[in-house]
Amino acid sequence: MPFQETCALAERIAVLKDYDTGVFTVAELARRYGVSRETIYVWKRRRAEGSDKRWFEDLSHAAQTCPHATSPEATAAVIALRERFPHFGPKKIRAWLLREQPHVAWPACSTMGDILKRAGLVEAVRREHRPIAQGEIAPADLAANTEWATDFKGWFRIGNGRRCDPLTVTDTASRYLIATRIVEPTTLGVKQAFERIFDCYGLPDRVRSDVMLKACLRHDGSPFGSTGAGGLSRLSVWFLKLGIEPCHIRPGSPQKNGRHERMHRTMKAQTTATPAATMAEQQARFDTFRAHYNRERPHEALDQTPPASHWQPSFRAMPVRIHEPWYDADHEVRRANHKGCIKWRGEHIFIGEALARETIGITEIEDGRHLVRFCSRDLGVIDRDFRFHRFAPPRPRLHSAPEPKRDTRTNGE
């Protein structure tokens, strides 16, 4: 026992010894020893009760009973569910238990967090400062199948040393994980995967993707976008012919596809922390995760309900035959050759390799130049010297374009 505490206990005994002499009043002893009169009365009462031989020691201030304590059954249920789903936090555990046993008065999320800490099932995480948000916020009032997001989840090597490239597709509104398939990161491989997806789930209105996918550059370039006219690739040309608008996020801006990237983080933690031995085993992990993510796992952005309760297949079915693009009567139509060139006013003009053998519409604009268009996408303009100036891929702007400066000089300057 520390020396200071020993002196304090000895002083309490001395107070009552002085009181027993009858020489001092309680008020005089309180002033002499620097304590309140009520304190002396408490010590005197505890000594008189005689039930505690060490009456002069401090008692614990902890509550002896807690009528609102969580029952052992509820505590066991929380721990059991965490052991079943190691990636569930208190919010998802509570949502799951409320859904499975709504008649039980389950404790608050904070209490469940304390239960998990006491059980040693959570580790302290260092909190980092959030970065300053920038750019546009994704619309929250989308309907299912209005927009799908797609990307490759970064390649990795499985147990046998082979390279694994998982392609993922999600519905932006419902967060439903439509597909997680291991495919070749080529235009042909991705197109075949989307053909199966469209046959099974129908067509969305638009597809959001990264225009530059580094996972695909070792083959034939990014299948989703390019630096060519209008940012079109062979795959996005196919999308446009199906009536799907390809949307490209700005390179180096994953926050533009933040919902999809957050899903990747969860999938990585649960399926690739220790890669499987074979492709078949790894694909089975992805399939199991997809079923769990869609139908079992509560999603915080969906009020702790699973994505499957907010999604249904698209009413737009995959067409049996894909028709050529239709253009207004004021357009002249040209078909590009196998190199992506068109014949215009006796000149061969290169438009883009992605448009090889596709029909292109050309219409005159006010300044005498001609606008080049494929389906609904403007590709660029042909000037009077028969030079083609391509348009960049349409992307959301992070900042509004500055207004052009006016020439304030006078004629005399």
**Tens of each residue's pLDDT in the chain, 413 residues:** 454 455 566 777 788 888 888 888 888 888 888 888 888 888 788 777 765 556 666 666 676 667 678 888 999 999 999 999 998 999 999 999 999 999 998 999 999 999 999 898 887 777 665 554 444 444 555 789 999 999 988 889 999 999 999 999 999 999 999 999 999 988 899 999 999 999 999 999 999 887 544 434 444 555 655 567 777 889 999 999 999 998 877 655 566 677 888 899 999 999 998 999 999 999 999 999 999 999 999 998 889 999 999 999 999 999 999 999 999 999 999 999 999 999 998 899 999 889 999 999 999 988 889 999 999 889 999 998 899 998 877 665 444 444 444 444 434 43
Within this chain, do residues 290 and 344 fall inside the same structural domain, yes or no? no
Is residue 142 in a domain?
Answer: no
The CA dihedral of 360, 365, 369, 371, to the nearest 10 degrees, is -20
SS3 track for the chain = CCHHHHHHHHHHHHHHHHHHCCCCCHHHHHHHHCCCHHHHHHHHHHHHHCCCCCCCCCCCCCCCCCCCCCCHHHHHHHHHHHHHCCCCCHHHHHHHHHHHCCCCCCCCHHHHHHHHHHCCCCCCCCCCCCCCCCCCCCCCCCCCCCEEEEEECCCEECCCCCEECEEEEEECCCCCEEEEEECCCCHHHHHHHHHHHHHHHCCCCEEEEECCCHHHCCCCCCCCCCCCHHHCCHHHHHHHHCCCEEEEECCCCHHHHHHHHHHHHHHHHHHCCCCCCCHHHHHHHHHHHHHHHHHCCCEHHHCCECHHHHCCCCCCCCCCCCCCCCCCCCCEEEECCCCCEEEECCEEEECCHHHCCCEEEEEECCCCCEEEEECCEEEEEECCCCCEEECCCCCCCCCCCCCCCCCCCCCCC
Is residue 253 in a domain?
Answer: yes
- Contact 201/177 with Cβ under 8 angstroms? no
Within this chain, do residues 225 and 286 fall inside the same structural domain, yes or no? yes
CATH code of the domain covering residue 224: 3.30.420.10
- Give the other-Cβ count within 10 Å of 86's Cβ: 10
Within this chain, do residues 86 and 209 fall inside the same structural domain, yes or no? no
Within this chain, do residues 155 and 304 fall inside the same structural domain, yes or no? yes
Is residue 234 in a domain?
Answer: yes
Is residue 81 in a domain?
Answer: yes
Is residue 80 in a domain?
Answer: yes
What's the pLDDT at 279? 94
**Domain span at residue 264?**
147-310
Rg of the chain's alpha carbons, rounded to an integer? 36
Within this chain, do residues 282 and 191 fall inside the same structural domain, yes or no? yes
Within this chain, do residues 28 and 160 fall inside the same structural domain, yes or no? no
Within this chain, do residues 161 and 220 fall inside the same structural domain, yes or no? yes
- Contact 112/94 with Cβ under 8 angstroms? yes
What's the pLDDT at 250? 63
What's the pLDDT at 251? 58
What's the pLDDT at 49? 76
Full-prediction pTM beyond 0.75?
Answer: no
Is residue 272 in a domain?
Answer: yes
Within this chain, do residues 368 and 274 fall inside the same structural domain, yes or no? no
Within this chain, do residues 191 and 152 fall inside the same structural domain, yes or no? yes
- Contact 155/185 with Cβ under 8 angstroms? yes
d(CA 152, CA 146): 21
Within this chain, do residues 384 and 247 fall inside the same structural domain, yes or no? no
CATH code of the domain covering residue 8: 1.10.10
Within this chain, do residues 381 and 277 fall inside the same structural domain, yes or no? no
Is residue 95 in a domain?
Answer: yes
Q: How many domains does the chain have?
A: 4
What's the pLDDT at 313? 94
Is residue 128 in a domain?
Answer: no
- Contact 380/372 with Cβ under 8 angstroms? yes
Within this chain, do residues 231 and 303 fall inside the same structural domain, yes or no? yes
d(CA 12, CA 32): 12
